[in-house]
Amino acid sequence: MLLKTRGLSKVFGGLRAVADLDIQVADGQIVGLIGPNGAGKSTVFNLITGVLRPTAGQIIFDGADITNKKAHVTAKLGIGRTFQSAYLFPDFTVLENLVAASFLHPKCNFWEATLRTPGYRRKEAAKLEQAKEILEFVGLEPMQDELAKNLAHGYQKVLGVARALAVKPKLLLLDEPVAGMTAEEIAFSLDVFKKIREQGVAILLIEHNLEFMTLCDRVFVLNFGHKIAEGTPQEVRKDADVCEAFFGTEDD
């Protein structure tokens, strides 16, 4: 297993946002985390990436215990993520957004950077090259000189994914990656996710939409912080508790 949580819990004041959660992501899989509003999905991402500290439980990534590790450490270890809102530099171009993201991987020391040594300039050129490669990979290369804020909503979200790829992740966490997208943008994004998987990168993704889950090898369903079901998308869709959590209240 690439990622495992054991008994993961997060309490905010009196609210158990995540309760005793065990989930697993195998190498190269696409795994879904679904559940109604407020189920605790984004909190799980914040715990895994070290943005929040768990109240209890353990997180194992790639054989190492990463519980309580800070966000810059989890990024370095190979966990990339996107946020529910786009989280870009709106006045930077698409390419500049990518180059800025690759500073997460600083390979130059202070003196090299200050003196702009040939070594530093070489590393800068390599960074630019890497940024262009990622843009080409996700299909945003034709838009590389556009300001991020001028991209259509869907492509801004894809740029968020591209930025997450800049840390060279083994695991990519995507929080509602296709929310608010047009059908065309969703199709574009699905192609990107499949290409990412083909590179051997595992994906854990949050989605509201049960239909979207067909992309996933496995799905975990959360409700009020608890795992209420897990299995293949087909198994989960038939589950009575899942139907109740998603559709039960509509009849009330």
Ligand X SMILES: Nc1ncnc2c1ncn2[C@@H]1O[C@H](COP(=O)(O)OP(=O)(O)OP(=O)(O)O)[C@@H](O)[C@H]1O
Residue 28 contacts ligand X per CB under 6 A? no
- Span of 36-44, 125-133, 138-146, 156-164 interacting with ligand X by CB under 6 A: 36-44
Residue 43 contacts ligand X per CB under 6 A? yes
List, in sequence order, every residue forming a beta bridge with 58; answer none if it has no partner: 6
Contact (Cβ atoms closer than 8 angstroms) between residue 124 and residue 132: no
Q: Which does 35 bind (CB under 5 to 8 A by kind): ligand X, Mg ion, none?
A: ligand X
Q: Which of 9, 32, 40, 219 binds ligand X (CB under 6 A)?
A: 40
- Span of 10-18, 92-100, 211-219, 229-237 interacting with ligand X by CB under 6 A: 10-18
By CB under 5 A, what part of segment 8-47 binds Mg ion?
A: 41-42
Residue 37 contacts ligand X per CB under 6 A? yes
Q: Which of 39, 138, 192, 204 binds ligand X (CB under 6 A)?
A: 39
Residue 12 contacts ligand X per CB under 6 A? yes
Enumerate residues 6+ apart whose C-beta is below 8 A from 142: none
Identity of the residue, 42 or 102, whose beta carbon is nearer to Mg ion in the bound complex: 42
Q: Which of 42, 67, 74, 97 binds ligand X (CB under 6 A)?
A: 42
Q: CB of residue 8 vs ligand X: minimum separation in angstroms?
A: 12
Identity of the residue, 38 or 231, whose beta carbon is nearer to ligand X in the bound complex: 38
By CB under 5 A, what part of segment 42-61 binds Mg ion?
A: 42
By CB under 6 A, what part of segment 59-98 binds ligand X?
A: 84
Q: CB of residue 40 vs ligand X: minimum separation in angstroms?
A: 4
Q: Which does 247 bind (CB under 5 to 8 A by kind): Mg ion, ligand X, none?
A: none
Contact (Cβ atoms closer than 8 angstroms) between residue 86 and residue 157: yes
Identity of the residue, 98 or 206, whose beta carbon is nearer to Mg ion in the bound complex: 206
Identity of the residue, 116 or 153, whose beta carbon is nearer to Mg ion in the bound complex: 153
Q: Please count the CA atoms within 13 angstroms of the CA of 54 that sit on its side-chain side.
A: 23
Q: What phi, psi does 240 have (nearest 5°)? A: -65, -40
User: Using N-to-C axis directions, what is the helix angle for 118-138 and 94-101, rounded to 10°?
Assistant: 120
Instruction: Say how many residues touch ligand X, by CB under 6 A.
Output: 12
